[in-house]
Amino acid sequence: MKRIRFSWKNICLPISCINNTNQKTTCTTNPSKERLLLLSKQTSVRSRVYLSDFSNSTISLNDLSNSYLIDIHIFTFEELKTITQGFSKYNYLGEGGFGEVYKGFVDNSVKTGLKAQPVAVKALKREGGQGHREWLAEVVILGQLKHPNLVNLIGYCCEDDHRLLVYEYMERGNLEDHLFQKYGGALPWLTRVNILLGAAKGLDFLHKEEKPVIYRDFKPSNILLSSDYSSKLSDFGLATDGSEADDADFTKSVMGTEGYAAPEYISAGHLTTMSDVFSFGVVLLEMLTARKTVKKYRSQRERNLVEWARPMLKDPNKLEQIIDPSLEGRYSLEGIRKAAVLAYQCLSHNAKSRPTMATVVKTLERILDLKDIQNGPFVYIVPVAGANKVHDIKCN
């Protein structure tokens, strides 16, 4: 079999990355482009352009950015090299499926209208598992949708073979690093609830779009945290709008991260907003237990977190066995029980039995209002008669 050399130029995607906004096109009969032009004239009601509009069309990013992208800047590759100091190892923040991420700094001298701020620059790697479609999804979705719990896309670079994205910089990294860290203190109970509440609001916003946006990759590493632990969803490369999710051909390819995908999506390719709800339930369970959803080094019985822990979520007598021991009892008992019930509902194998994200948000808000936080194990030291020692008696 002949091997095909990978190049983004070989990808059959109907999009041009020409930075010259004055270039004219001779295609006037394309339905998607005509729709885009028609929508751009409807200034009274703002409509969103969908990823499906780019299928079999000649719509370019310039067509989109001129009318629809909100405060998005187009960077040259040289500009991004400058702000990251040549993608210096000292500015290296990490790497995911998309590519490497570097810290940089922008201001008005880089682009007119840019406020001085640190940024995160993500570069798509050509040999990676994700490609141009994932990069495009981030630009199309985050370029049009703005919400306090979605990471802010500042701009992009689409030059030759270079595909880069520029985001706001989130000081505390991602939830995964804090939840599963083996050093430092544990995340306090209310901080955990507040982080997931912010993420839930982000998903609820996406699901309430005219054509719901299905996030499809909800997991702790995609929840970014600011300095005050406010949370924002990031990495929209696998996200899709409802029109694509309804396409039988599209859902044949199951994408996401092991352990977080809904059972109906894995078995039959059925992708709906309820798939995101299941993924949220997995992360909520991880928050309760501080255990990763899949860990091959655990015993066979406990290897899959959902299968092992879900039956215990509805049993108050067994719930204590799975709660993160590093919390040391410093949580609301009622809050823990309500969160466990919510996780149990989100993880239902019947998609129709799961709550909507709007219901999830309301439930988490009520849990956050519960202030009956325990102080952990009560320790009382009493002298023992006839002995010079004292004994610690711990009463849970």
Separation between Cα atoms, residue 361 and residue 197, nearest integer Å: 6
Q: Which residue has 């945290």 as its token pair?
A: 225
Which DSSP state fits 304? B
Burial class of 172 by CB neighbour count within 10 A (0 to 12, 13 to 18, 19+): middle
Torsion of CA 136, 142, 144, 147, to 10 degrees: 170
Contacts of 250 (CB under 8 A, 6+ apart): 240, 244
Separation between Cα atoms, residue 295 and residue 292, nearest integer Å: 6
Strands 153-159 and 73-74: parallel
The dihedral region occupied by 344, where left means phi > 0, alpha psi between -120 and 50, and beta the remainder, is alpha
Of 171, 143, 155, 141, nearest in space to 80 by CA: 155
What angle do helix axes 189-207 and 357-368 make, rounded to 10 degrees?
160
Which of helix, strand or coil describes residue 20? coil
Residue 389 annotated as binding? no
Which residues are known catalytic residues?
217
Separation between Cα atoms, residue 348 and residue 278, nearest integer Å: 7
Measured in degrees and rounded to the nearest 5, phi and psi for residue 248 equal -60, -35
Annotated binding site: 122
Annotated binding site for ATP: 122
